[in-house]
Amino acid sequence: MSDTIFIKGVSVHAHHGALDHEGHVGQRFVIDLELTADISEASRSDRLADTVSYANVVATAIAAFKDANYKLVERAAGAVAEAVLTAFPKISTIKVTVHKPHAPIAAIFDDVGVILVRSRK
């Protein structure tokens, strides 16, 4: 059985980017997480111990995202996926979406970013 927990719209100021000014000034990123886990016991027990703490997942994701200044959002998203899978054994798969709304692109655009899906081995 697999169930889904989602967390959308986590805003984080970080210093990721291939251009020098992105590493110095930083910018806002938005992270969405989709977690696959068996939470059937929590659906019966109503106990936090039987599910995954949203607050702890967010804290882990933010810490991993801000841990280093990456040139690529792909690497920053990978760091989030690795950290969350390591910290939360109940999670079997994670989908990490990183939006970079102020990417230095010479065009008018609504959104740009990456989506990574990683599963426990």
User: Is-catalytic flag, 100?
Assistant: yes
How many distinct helices (H) and strands (E) make up the chain? 4, 4
Cα(first)–Cα(last) distance of the chain, in Å?
A: 17
Query: CB 61: neighbour CB atoms within 10 A?
Result: 24
Instruction: Determine contact, residues 29/73, Cβ cutoff 8 Å.
Output: yes
Which amino acid belongs to residue 4? T
Q: Are 104 and 19 in contact (CB under 8 A)?
A: yes
Residue 116 CA, chain-centre distance (Å), reads 9
**Catalytic annotation, pick one of 71, 90, 100, 121:** 100
| Residues with catalytic roles | 100
